[in-house]
Amino acid sequence: MEGRQVAGRKRHYLVDTEGHLLAVVVHAADVNDREGARWVFAYVAPRWPELRKAGADQGYTGELSAWLRQQYGIDLEIVAKAAAQVGFTALPRRWVVERSIAWYGRCRRLSKDYEHLAEYSESWVYLASIQFLLRRLRPGSAQERLYARKAA
């Protein structure tokens, strides 16, 4: 899960282990990250009751982990950098969310914050994820096919 600020707004993404979008919540930037996470899990928990573990960055520390365990039975693992770390290092599993955000950022409509309402912004993120999945199912003729049969 990742909160991302865009022009006075935050986007909270919840993706699966492969980076496919499960949920997104967009709200004003003055709302705390932990409150945004509560909104995300209130949306996700009834739809995916088998969800048992989630990872998040340090913005989601505090009582959120205990609340998620009590409310939905979900264990929240905070991915933190090592105390002695200097400079950039890819954190385990966190790169999956960052990669997904980059995939959706390739959608022109999401490159800037054009929308006036947060609901519209959420809808465009869902549309970008659908477009991404459809392109994976049927790539264009110019795009290299990953598992195409080669002529003998």
By the 8 A CB rule, do 71 and 64 touch?
Answer: no
**Statement: residue 5 has pLDDT above 50:** no
User: Is pTM, for the whole model, over 0.95?
Assistant: no
| 119 vs 90, more confident | 119
The domains found in the chain, sorted by start residue, are 2-81+89-137 (3.30.420.10)
Lowest mean pLDDT among 12-26, 43-57, 111-125: 111-125
SS3 76: strand
d(CA 48, CA 41): 10
Q: Is 67 exposed, middle or buried (0-12, 13-18, 19+ CB in 10 A)?
A: middle
**pLDDT tens digits along 9-39:** 888 899 888 888 999 998 888 888 888 899 9
d(CA 20, CA 114): 24
**Statement: residue 52 has pLDDT above 50:** yes
DSSP 118-139: HHHHHHHHHHHHHHHHHHHHS-
d(CA 99, CA 45): 24
**Statement: residue 147 has pLDDT above 80:** no
Contacts of 125 (CB under 8 A, 6+ apart): 11, 13, 21, 24, 26, 104, 110
| 109 vs 21, more confident | 21
**pLDDT tens digits along 63-100:** 999 999 999 999 988 887 777 777 777 777 777 888 88
